[in-house]
Chain A
Amino acid sequence: MSQEIISTPSPKGGRNLVLRLKAPLLIFFVALFLYFLAGRMDNFSVPGQLGPFFWPKAILIFLMISCGIKGLEIAFSPSPGPGSAASEISRPDVHYPRLIYLIALVLGVVLATQTIGFPLANFFFLWLFMFAAGMRQKLYLLTTSLIGTIILLYLFVKVVYLPLPRGYWFFEDLTLFFYRILRII
């Protein structure tokens, strides 16, 4: 797991403080919203007992208090303290285009697994993921994606009998076709 990095000093300013407080403020208001929502959902009062919504509401109150504690830590730290939002400035820079692409791929493979089936979705995912992360050798991409997908299918569908998604409509037939060619079913 990655470690927190000791942050470098940065000048204190009102605008900087607000920026550093944005994360705890956001969490605070979300917690407040959920608290009122819980109050509206709480139609199950039991006489003489605390009821089912006592605990979530108590936790939301503690969460808001925690945001307050975090806000005080940020406000009274002479420099962006460890754990503060501004400490990300001192963390290694993120390759944001690659991050967005990888996040889109992760979400995309979940959607694709549902719609076009696991074999096709996984093959394209492995290819595109490794390509996005910097791998450029096409033969390597093709063989790794293909062999990796086949091994996973044998392992989980044939050996473990896991009913991995086959997709819808035409893709379901295609998936079954692949399974028959590979002697998985």
Chain B
Amino acid sequence: MLGQLDYLWIGLINTFDPLNFSMITLGLIIGVFAGALPGITMLNAIVLVLPFTYLMGIVPALLLMIGIYCGGVFAGSITGILFNIPGDPMNIPTTWEGYQLNKKGFVSKALGMAIITAAIGGFLSALIMTIASPPFAKVALTFSSAEYFAVVFLGLSSVVVIGTRSIGSALISLFIGILLGTIGMDDIYGVPRFSFGSRILETGINFVVVLIGLFAIGEVLEQLTMKGKEVGKLARTRPKTQLPSFMELWGLRNTILRGLGVGVIVGAIPGAGATVASFVSYGVEKQVSKHPEKFGTGVWEGLVSSETAISGSTGGAMIPLLTLGIPGSGATAVMMGAFLLHGVQPGPLLFTKTPEAVYTIFVGMLVCNLIMILAGLFTARFFSELMRVPEIMLGAFIITFCLIGAFALRNDMADVWFMALFGILGFFMRRYALPIPPLILGIILGPMAESYFLTTMIGERNDWSIFFRRPVSGCLLIISVGLLVMPFFRNLRKKGKEIRT
């Protein structure tokens, strides 16, 4: 049996394999451009490349997506600092401070600080992921279907609670997603459900098609049909990036460590992701600051805390994906799709069946964050040019890529039709403020939840108490119920306070 260090060495060799390394580099480039262009986003880029990863092995596919993930999460800060336009909602706190620093004349240093602290956060979180995942996977190997059901249930509950203002809307979206996952042949009994005699529906609705439609096409339709949309003024500058000195970074070490901690913990919570990590870290930093009133006027701690947390969440989100098969964020949910496309079930068995692949992913992520510094340094100055590409043209080509991507899954036009219909649905979901991430996680996690649930019921002869008799399963379910019920009590308490005042 090879030790962890031996697998890391194999992972290092595999990472520098020409195909794998080129996938990391390509992914970083795509991620940086997609993350920086408002409306495209890192998540859309991962969704768009997903169908094409079917043509490659699972490791290069994941390295490509990890490259996009790592590059995309920080790239939105570049346009935020330069033009006051965050590339993604997660980059809003960085924009608050970064653009003010730009106005004060520190644009080069702000870009450099964002890049370096993002790289530090990403690298350290990848290191944490490398160290924490194997023991976590060993514990997960002792799980039965009851524990897995409880973990998936926790994942679904977390999505509902975190980051949504309307619990009702989130629940509706979630259950619609789970319902969509039931269409087609049932895994346990082999019975067609909601197929209405249609051959197309009997094969089920491919979640990749739903992803592409809801995210990419829905977003394009919304962006291009909004009246009176404001577009930030583009500066005719090609700024250089100036990296901070070691002493400057050392002075911000506490901020970096806090951002990293928040990023990893929040990133590991299913449904949270980089956006929540970014705002929580910014808020925490403001709380502990001696001068909280200065936040928003161009404060280095604000920029650093946000960027470190964003990149720190990447490693955190990968931990539940690799060890339990539960995605920690929207991006890792799409990566899970890559696993399923290749017929690989993420989870603790990955560490025993294909440890070389797992450690290649670990090392790939470490290397990715180091190369990200170079990608950030050289692309920042070109963004003022790239931002001139008309949004109309980008939107048209995005839809074309979606069409090709949906077709590439099974060479079936039915998938393309579904994608188009879900794209229209995605627009109306945004219009009526029905959140999309719960639907996506519902369609991915729903079938898993059903499978684990029914397997447990069959094994235990419909004895529901098994979920609470097993301690891990019981604790997770109680936490999940608490998460679901907590918002109602919070609202009741808020209403009580309003009535008293």
Contacts and interface: CB of A to CB of B under 8 A. Distances in A.
Main secondary structure, interface of B, reads: helix
B404 interface: yes
Main secondary structure of the interface of A (DSSP, over half): helix
B256 to A, nearest CB: 27
A73 B395 CA distance: 35
A79 interface: no
Interface stretch (B98-106, B222-230, B233-241): B222-230
Interface stretch (B165-173, B264-272, B306-314, B472-480): B165-173
Given A67-B172, A88-B432, A94 B404 contact: no
Contacts of B457: 49-50
A3 B166 contact: no
B248 to A, nearest CB: 33
B393 to A, nearest CB: 6
Interface in A40-90: 41, 44, 46, 48-56, 59-60, 62-63, 66-67, 69-74, 81-85, 87-88
Contacts of B432: 23, 85, 88
B430 A2 contact: yes
Interface stretch (B9-17, B121-129, B288-296, B405-413): B405-413
B189 A44 contact: yes
Interface in B199-245: 215, 217, 219, 221-222, 224-229
Contacts of B167: 69, 73
Given A83-B433, A92-B228, A148-B397, A49 B164 contact: no
Size band of the interface chain B makes with A: 35 or more
A51 B65 CA distance: 38
B3 interface: no
Contact of A83 (B165, B182, B413): B165
A135 B392 contact: yes
Contacts of B179: 34, 56, 59-60, 63
Given A52-B188, A83-B435, A92-B226, 17 more contacts: A1-B219, A1-B436, A4-B433, A38-B194, A52-B193, A56-B194, A67-B168, A73-B166, A83-B165, A83-B169, A87-B433, A88-B432, A106-B399, A126-B396, A133-B224, A133-B396, A134-B392
Interface of A: 1-4, 23-24, 27, 34, 37-38, 41, 44, 46, 48-56, 59-60, 62-63, 66-67, 69-74, 81-85, 87-88, 91-96, 98-99, 102-103, 106-107, 109-110, 113-114, 122, 125-126, 129-130, 133-135, 144, 148, 152, 156, 160, 162-165
